Structure 1
Amino acid sequence: MTDRLHKLRLAAVNIDGVLLGDTFSPLIHRFVTRRGGIYSADVERSVFSQRQADAGRAMAAAVPQTLTGEEALAAYFEERAAYLADHPVEVTEGAGALLRRLRAAGLDVVCYGGLAKSHFDEHLGAYAGLFTPPHYICTNDVRPGLREITAHFGLEDGQVLFIDDVARVAEAARALGAPFIGRPSRFEHSHQAELMRQAGARHLVDGLDEIDDALLRTVDEEATAGTLWPTRAAEPVPTAG
Structure 2
Amino acid sequence: MDGAGTAATLRATWLWRTGLEPRQVTNFTTVHGVGEVFLAIPWVGPTPAVLDTLEALTRRGVRVSALGGSPEWASRPSLAAEWARRLAGYAFCAVHLDVEPWTSRSWPGHEVTYLARLAKLTAFLRARTGLPTEIDLPSWIAVRHGPAFRQVAAEADAVTVLAYRDRASAILNAAEEARAILTMLGRHYRLGVETRASREGAHVTFFQEGRRAMERELNAVTSTIGEEATFDGIAIHDLDGWRQLPN
Q: TM-score range by the shorter chain?
A: 0.3 to 0.5
TM-score (norm 1): 0.35
- Structure number with higher relative contact order (C-alpha < 8 Å, ≥ 6 residues apart): 1
TM-score, normalization: structure 2? 0.34
Identify, as 1 or 2, the structure richer in strand. Answer: 2
